[in-house]
Amino acid sequence: MARANAHVRYPARFQLVAAMNPCRCGLGGPGRGACGKAPRCQKDYQNRISGPMFDRIDLTVETPAVTAADMILPAPAEGTAEAAARVAAAMQMQEARMAEAGLTGMQALNARASGEALERFAAPDQAGRALLMKAGEAGGLTARGWTRTLRLARTIADLDGADGVLRRHVAEALMYRRSTVGAHEDFDRQASRRALFSVQEPGAGQTPFVWN
């Protein structure tokens, strides 16, 4: 990795966590002021990162600007300890599941599971598969993106304590795919997501996912 005058070599297996402004001036997006060159400024700025690079990022989250009201909000109901406990429980579920396929250690985690293991343990229900198909047909998923979405949906289901991957888990995984200005796509990603997540009524006990 090259940065300014420094070059660093990292191991091939690593976890990348990155952050970027919405545009060059930092004022793009809701609650950030007014970017005088929007949306061109955002597209040009985000074009500095290639589409294939974005495709390799499993989770993208847009964080709105912090307001004065945010500074006085109470602490979230789920703290760090509670979140860590859920993660530990999800990892135990993964290890127990993958043990059926003879996988142990790092190979027992969803992130390292083989394609065969994913087909066996991460296959979504009929509604979830239909949602994946819609995303693929809309041009929003590459072959790599399909596999990464399945891995993420399986993990979301584990955090939810669910045995199977349901439509709501697939919908959430798709929402974490690249959500920046569509500088590298030939379709309107947000319009596509609105169609994906509002096209079907949720089943009993499920939360509707509508992209706003």
In a domain, 135, yes or no: yes
Q: Sorting pLDDT into bands at 50, 70 and 90, what band is 42?
A: confident
Same domain, 49 and 85: no
Element (H, E) at 3: strand 2-3
Domain hosting residue 27, numbered range: 22-56
Which residues, at least 6 apart from 204, have a Cβ–Cβ distance to it below 8 Å? none
Same domain, 114 and 149: yes
The structure's pTM equals 0.75
Q: With 90 as the cut, is the pLDDT of residue 166 above it?
A: yes
Q: Which tens digit of pLDDT belongs to each residue from 78-99?
A: 889 999 999 999 999 999 999 9
Q: Which tens digit of pLDDT belongs to each residue from 127-159?
A: 999 999 998 888 778 889 999 999 999 999 999
In a domain, 41, yes or no: yes
Which residues, at least 6 apart from 141, have a Cβ–Cβ distance to it below 8 Å? 132, 135, 149, 177
Same domain, 130 and 36: no
Same domain, 91 and 34: no
Number of domains observed in the structure of the chain = 2
Which residues, at least 6 apart from 15, have a Cβ–Cβ distance to it below 8 Å? none
Q: Sorting pLDDT into bands at 50, 70 and 90, what band is 170?
A: very high
In a domain, 190, yes or no: no
